[in-house]
């Protein structure tokens, strides 16, 4: 790859991250580089090829960073930590965030998915090495690898140079949480609660009248399309076809795709708040609340109550809609962070930075619809339990536990 191609990809990635794939044009990318638009087509045939190239380069960077972290004489956990720090350092060659993969032509999307799983398997091999040498604990190394990669990919949605922390603070906090978990290290790991019952949530769907049921079904199908294809690939025509209605049926409720997207995001966020409130009313708190909340989010994903919404499309919204929606989400995040603070006071959680803790667990779960859309090796409950076990107890083994 020559320097100019790499410069174009970095500029495009920055714009994609800020404005979404759907809103960025080749003309905007050219302008950011002081190029005429026609010059871009000397390097890439179209925007889809440019996006695909960014994906592949980003995935190759992952692979190179993992290889660079491997060094004779150090244990598996230290290799993972070296990889983490290399991935998050300021000069790392981050190309693009892995969203909207399924909006690409199939010949591109298949290769991106394959390379992504290849990277996860490579990291899983490192984790297996750590399990073998005793520096790590993981009963499903591939799921641990997916969780770690998901945290990295999520970082660039929320990371801001203008926040209270430095890049070094972010690296230290995320490293600490992944390594040691948030649960107090001096306490034995408790037995997990019984799996939650989904009937209470599915019963709410049964109470809808015929019109409400059709409307909710439309939002559910649209949300699934936006999750997998992003705004770029989820056309109103394709959504209408999947719903089983005409495009006019969507326009009866919404003026455009942005209004539909906002309704889907609000529906998903309302459900997340309902789940959290339900668990609180049931008396779940601290680690049990985290476990049951993650279980319900993932177990309900493929039911009529779902899907679990991803947030990566919010930059497609207008400024006013985006700010209003983010304000609502931040209130929910603030409530979760307060729960973590209470758990610290009660002695269940370590003295962690709750800001980063919330983003670590969100990162693990956020990509669930994208990773597991085409693979069903594990049940949602298995994935949820593995993610929460990693979040709560970390990769580093504990001296005394009551759970294998």
Q: What is the pLDDT of residues 353-377, one digit of tens each?
A: 999 999 999 999 999 998 998 788 9
Degrees to nearest 5, angle at CA 184 with 182 and 403: 90
Torsion, Cα of 327, 333, 339, 341 (10° steps): -90
Per-residue pLDDT reduced to its tens digit, 147-157: 999 998 888 77
Residue 91 confidence (pLDDT) above 50: yes
Dist. CA 242–CA 232, nearest whole Å: 17
Q: What is the mean pLDDT of residues 244-263?
A: 95
Q: How many CB atoms lie within 10 A of CB 213?
A: 14
Q: What is the mean pLDDT of residues 201-211?
A: 93
Torsion, Cα of 124, 125, 127, 130 (10° steps): 170
What's the pLDDT at 400?
58
* Whether CATH 3.40.50.300 fits 3-160: no
Domain with CATH 1.10.357.10 in the chain: 3-160, 199-393
Per-residue pLDDT reduced to its tens digit, 17-74: 778 788 899 999 999 999 998 999 999 999 999 999 999 998 998 999 999 999 999 9
Task: Give backbone dihedrals phi and psi of 346, rounded to 5 degrees, phi first.
Answer: -80, -5
User: Which architecture, in CATH terms, is 199-393?
Assistant: Orthogonal Bundle (1.10)
Q: Which residues of 28-38 are buried (b: 16+ CB within 10 A; e: fewer)?
A: ebbeebebeee
Q: Is 166 exposed, middle or buried (0-12, 13-18, 19+ CB in 10 A)?
A: exposed
Degrees to nearest 5, angle at CA 296 with 238 and 202: 65
pTM equals 0.92
Q: Please tell me the total number of residues recorded for the chain in this structure.
A: 404
Task: Give backbone dihedrals phi and psi of 349, rounded to 5 degrees, phi first.
Answer: -105, 150
Dist. CA 183–CA 287, nearest whole Å: 7
Degrees to nearest 5, angle at CA 47 with 45 and 51: 110
């Amino acid at each position: 790859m020559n320097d100019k191609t790499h410069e174009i990809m970095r500029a495009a990635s920055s714009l994609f991250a800020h404005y979404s794939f759907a809103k960025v044009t080749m003309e905007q990318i050219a302008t950011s580089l002081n190029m005429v638009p026609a010059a871009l087509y000397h390097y890439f045939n179209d925007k889809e090829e440019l996006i695909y190239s960014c994906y592949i380069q980003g995935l190759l960077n992952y692979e190179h960073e993992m290889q660079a972290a491997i060094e004779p004489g150090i244990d598996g956990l230290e290799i993972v930590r070296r990889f983490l720090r290399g991935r998050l350092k300021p000069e790392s060659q981050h190309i693009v965030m892995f969203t909207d993969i399924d909006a690409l032509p199939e010949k591109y999307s298949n290769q991106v998915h394959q390379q992504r799983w290849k990277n996860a398997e490579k990291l899983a091999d490192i984790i297996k090495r750590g399990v073998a040498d005793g520096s790590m604990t993981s009963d499903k190394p591939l799921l641990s690898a997916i969780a770690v990669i998901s945290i990295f990919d999520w970082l660039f949605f929320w990371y801001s140079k203008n926040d209270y922390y430095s890049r070094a603070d972010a690296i230290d906090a995320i490293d600490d949480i992944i390594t040691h978990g948030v649960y107090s290290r001096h306490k034995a790991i408790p037995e997990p609660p019984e799996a939650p019952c989904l009937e209470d949530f599915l019963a709410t769907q049964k109470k809808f009248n015929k019109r409400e049921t059709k409307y909710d079904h439309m939002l559910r199908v649209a949300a699934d399309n936006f999750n997998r294809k992003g705004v770029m690939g989820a056309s109103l025509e394709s959504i209408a076809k999947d719903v089983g209605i005409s495009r006019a049926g969507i326009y009866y409720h919404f003026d455009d795709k942005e209004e539909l997207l906002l309704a889907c995001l609000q529906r998903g966020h309302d459900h997340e708040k309902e789940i959290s409130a339900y668990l609180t009313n049931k008396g779940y708190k601290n680690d049990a609340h985290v476990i049951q909340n993650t279980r319900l989010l993932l177990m309900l994903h493929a039911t009529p109550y779902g899907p679990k919404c991803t947030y990566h499309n919010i930059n497609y919204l207008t400024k006013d809609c985006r700010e209003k929606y983010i304000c609502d989400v931040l209130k929910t995040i603030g409530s979760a962070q307060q729960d973590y603070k209470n758990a610290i006071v009660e002695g269940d959680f370590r003295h962690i930075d709750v800001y980063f803790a919330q983003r670590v667990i969100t990162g693990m779960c956020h990509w669930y619809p994208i990773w597991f859309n085409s693979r069903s090796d594990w049940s949602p409950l298995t994935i949820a339990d593995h993610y929460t076990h990693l979040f709560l107890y970390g990769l580093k083994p504990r001296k005394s536990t009551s759970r294998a």
